[in-house]
Amino acid sequence: MPTFLRTARLAALAGLITLVPPAWSQGAPSATWTTAAPAGVARQELYPEVLNGKIYVAGGLLSPNTGYSAHFEAYDPATDAWTRLATLPQARHHMTLTAIGGQLYGVGGFTGGFPVWQAQPTMFIYDPVRNAWRPGTDLATPRAEGIAAAVDGKLYLIGGRVRATPAASHFDEHVDSTLNEVFDPLRAQWSARAPAPTARNSAAFGVIGGKVYVVGGRQYGKNADGTARQVNVPTLEVYDPATDTWATRAPMPQAQGGLAATVADGKLYVFGGEQWVPEQKVFAGSWVYDPATDRWSALPPLPTPRHGLGASTLGNRIHVFGGGLRTGGNAATAVHEVLVVDAGSKP
């Protein structure tokens, strides 16, 4: 009999309150947190990518949030070290990073420090052999804060924020989008696909079984007095590129915006985020979703609660790094925490 059951039984016999295991152990995979080398730069609003066994991170917001970065670095788990690489052609934050065909594609993102943000249409392509960037095929519609997934050698850019007018250059002059566009590297061409059911920004995603799982994020709007109102959404929507169709699955137990996600053992792992209404807070909440059962389970919470962070999987270790310690664009951190997952356990 497991220890916690023996303890609970003894407590009940003694007329005490029955003990129960922590919520995260109820069906979730066995997982524990440890630490690794901090990133080279403290920054947030990260969209990392894994290529050839290393984690790459480009751009990001600095502290204070009037600063943003062209810094580009990679983490090597073999040496537990971050290495600075060729600087981005232009500084960006909220720029997606996607690996296809042995190269990295950096798409869109904002220029400017808060509140002077302007979504960009640019594509930068990084060659790790030459440690060099080159221009790619720009977007027709400038976009930032979306998600970018690689499926069957193509890049799918979904959601995010677009300029409300062509000249928009301020944070609140952008609107949430349902845009879904695919880029074919062989043709160097963008084309439209079925729009997402939900317009949102600051969502997270993972690719499982050739489908794109888009989860969480938030919707930007305005109150009656004109002030910004950012409301989190728990929605999980799944896009199938093979049929160009969307499906809705079980929502997150907690709506988290500015969160991070990655895939391990065929499951979607989600971490952190922030909330603006009804109160401002940063989350430590961590969750795992099993598409086979359409079920969420809680994980051990982040040791360091934060939003705008990055998450990437290497083997049975999920690396969670960077982010902001407080709501908004300040208090960036270089902290690097690692969730060690027992792939043999089943949610």
pLDDT digits (tens, 9 = 90+) for 157-210: 999 999 999 999 999 999 999 999 999 999 999 999 999 999 999 999 999 999
279 touches 231 (CB < 8 A): no
- CA nearest 257: which of 221, 223, 288, 283? 283
Q: Is residue 3 one of the residues assigned to a domain? A: no
In a domain, 16, yes or no: no
Token match 């690097």: residue?
Answer: 336
- Is 12 inside a domain boundary? no
Backbone phi and psi for residue 235, each to the nearest 5 degrees, phi listed first: -60, 135
What pLDDT is recorded for position 190?
98
Q: What span, in angstroms and rounded, lies between the C-alpha atoms of 324 and 282?
A: 9
Q: What is the pLDDT along the chain (347 residues), one digit of tens a residue?
A: 444 344 334 333 333 332 333 444 455 668 899 999 999 999 999 999 999 999 999 999 999 888 999 999 999 999 999 999 999 999 999 999 999 999 999 999 999 999 999 999 999 999 999 999 999 999 999 999 999 999 999 999 999 999 999 999 999 999 999 999 999 999 999 999 999 999 999 999 999 999 999 999 999 988 888 888 999 999 999 999 999 999 999 999 999 999 999 999 999 999 999 999 999 999 999 999 999 999 999 999 999 999 999 999 999 999 999 999 999 988 999 999 999 998 555 44
| CATH number for the domain harbouring residue 333 | 2.120.10.80
Could you tell me if residue 335 is inside a domain? yes
Domain with 142, as residue range(s), is: 25-341
- For residues 75 and 90, what is the distance between their CA atoms, to the nearest angstrom? 21
Instruction: Give the model confidence (pLDDT) of 329-338 as tens digits.
Output: 889 999 999 9
Give the side-chain half-sphere CA count within 13 A for 103: 21
| Residue the block writes with tokens 């705008």 | 308
What domain count does the chain have?
Answer: 1
CB 307 within 8 A of CB 272: yes
User: Are the C-beta atoms of residues 69 and 43 closer than 8 Å to each other?
Assistant: yes
For the chain, the 3-state helix, strand and coil shares in percent, each to the nearest 5, are 5, 45, 50
What is the signed CA dihedral for 141, 146, 149, 153, rounded to 10 degrees? 10
Which one, of 209, 118, 98, 114, lies nearest residue 158 by Cα? 98
- Does residue 11 form part of some domain? no
The Cα–Cα gap between 42 and 335 comes to 8
Residue 5 placed within a domain? no
Note whether residue 7 is domain-resident: no
**Does 2 map to a domain?**
no
Q: What is the DSSP letter of 316?
A: T
Q: The tokens of 158 are what?
A: 């979904």
